[in-house]
Amino acid sequence: MVPYHMKKTVSIEFGSEALRIDFPGAVDVLRLPERAPLEDPARAIRDALAVPVGTPPLTTIVHNAVARQPDIRAVIVVSDNTRPVPYRGPASLVDPLLELLRKGKVREIILLVAAGTHRPLREPELRRLLPDSAFAADVRIVNHDCCDKAGLVRLGQTPRGTDVWINRAYLDAGIRILTGLVEPHFMAGMSGGPKSICPGIVGEAVTHVFHGARMMADARACSMQLDGNPCHEESLAVARMAGADFILNVTLNGNKAVTGVYAGDLVKAHRAACAQVVQDAGIPISREYDVVVTHAGFAGINHYQAAKAAVEASRALRAGGVLVLAANHTDDDPVGGRGYRSVLPRLREWGADELDRRLLAPDWQFVPEQWEVQMWARVFRKLGPAGRLVYCAPRLTGGRFLDGGLPGQDGGAGLDMKGSDRDQAERMVQQAVDQHAGRGRVAVLAEGPYGVPILTTGSANR
């Protein structure tokens, strides 16, 4: 038994609450570098709209567009509720854009939710996501539907052969504005910028190449790498075909406070944001760990979204280590969409290498959202036996865990699952830590999927 004075209690994010976990002995808490929030984010947003990167001020763009076409329509692309983009409150990206468009006498404004292949947001979810100003008579809110052929327009093909279909409402608008958050993305290098278009508002067929098995198998399709990343390059190619007049992106710190505002040209403003994220989101580590504890973060509304946290955490693990992942699933389906649910059990059945082999085979019939299963396969290739992932999600335990064919170990096994989700998750993570912390070096990723562990060259397993 570990003496009481040797225990260390660490708080782990779980939705808007925190789990308090006791670690027996030494534990390294890996945190993002400190990045102070902007003192006045609202002013920073206004300044960025007035002095953007690589384009005229947005007021000039709007004025010229309205002069050419008085009945012009504007579209603002917004992320869905899987991203902590500040659309409400003092740092709202939507309020100043609507104000500027109205002053510019734009008669119709569409807020287009870039749902990608995700399900459409319902009215209560939209009310929680967007400010009150978005629900005015001159604003129409539209959920992108990647399967609605009537709502899509074909633009041609990219050099890689992607058949490009884009949301019709976006292409019909005379003023096109993209908004979003720039953070590490475990496939595309960075979020934000062109990702608002691809995969945000493309047809499902686009994902057959953009998230195809061959692209996902490329080692360069990883966090914080843009150059040479085929996923990013294809996203940018599609976005350039669709066109964008202006982007408004932000960066956040570990507390979800705005640290930077980047507006203007699709490529130049996004690259400026990415340069800052590279400095802010990397967590240098001098060794790999035997046990890593992490959480699925804001985006982890279901198992599909939790893959990001697992992929990033696995970068800090030695081969064959143990990963403990806490997830606060709030989606109606805590596993994910239909395509994802159909492929996920194959990972448990076939194993990581065989899954990749079959997905890459010429006779494999592409399944939407198979890409996220392929990213889970990366994790299990590092972990080894499936039981080395302990999945601690109160809404995915017991029968739901088994019926979903989820890979890994149910963190609730053997526990009395009573009380709030927070209390249940705390018991699950604590049990996993008690069972595995004695294996050796232990680390906690404080910011979950938003920090990217970077192993110092030549320092593995020191």
- Domain ranges in the chain are 4-30+286-455, 41-280
pLDDT value of residue 386: 66
Query: Left, alpha or beta for 105 (phi > 0: left; psi -120 to 50: alpha)?
Result: left
pLDDT value of residue 6: 65
Residues 308, 248, 262, 189, Cα dihedral to 10°: 30
Evaluate whether 4-30+286-455 and 41-280 have a shared fold.
no
pLDDT value of residue 458: 57
Q: pLDDT digit string (tens) for 395-419?
A: 999 999 999 999 999 999 999 889 9
CA distance 196 to 177: 10
Residue 160, Cβ neighbours under 10 Å: how many? Answer: 15
Counting beta carbons within 10 angstroms of the beta carbon of residue 75, is it exposed (0 to 12), middle (13 to 18) or buried (19 or more)? Answer: buried
In percent, the amount of the chain with pLDDT more than 90 equals 86
Q: pLDDT digit string (tens) for 77-136?
A: 999 988 899 999 999 999 999 999 999 999 999 999 999 988 899 999 999 999 999 999
Q: Which of 224, 157, 237 is nearest to 195 (CA)?
A: 237
Is the model's pLDDT at 252 over the cut of 60?
yes
Task: Determine the CATH number of domain 4-30+286-455.
Answer: 3.90.226.30
Q: Which residues of 188-220 are buried (b: 16+ CB within 10 A; e: fewer)?
A: bbbbbbbbbbbbbbbbbbbbbbbbbbebbeeee
- DSSP reduced 3-state for 11: strand
pLDDT value of residue 3: 42
CA distance 46 to 136: 22
pLDDT value of residue 340: 96
- DSSP reduced 3-state for 246: strand
Task: Determine the CATH number of domain 41-280.
Answer: 3.40.50.11440
Is the model's pLDDT at 306 over the cut of 80?
yes
Across all residues in the chain, what is the average pLDDT?
A: 94
pTM, to two decimals = 0.86
CA distance 298 to 295: 9
pLDDT value of residue 442: 97
- DSSP reduced 3-state for 310: helix
Q: pLDDT digit string (tens) for 318-330?
A: 999 999 999 999 9
Is the model's pLDDT at 41 over the cut of 60?
yes
| Position 57, amino acid | P
Band of residue 457 on the pLDDT scale cut at 50, 70, 90: low
Strand partners, 289: 317
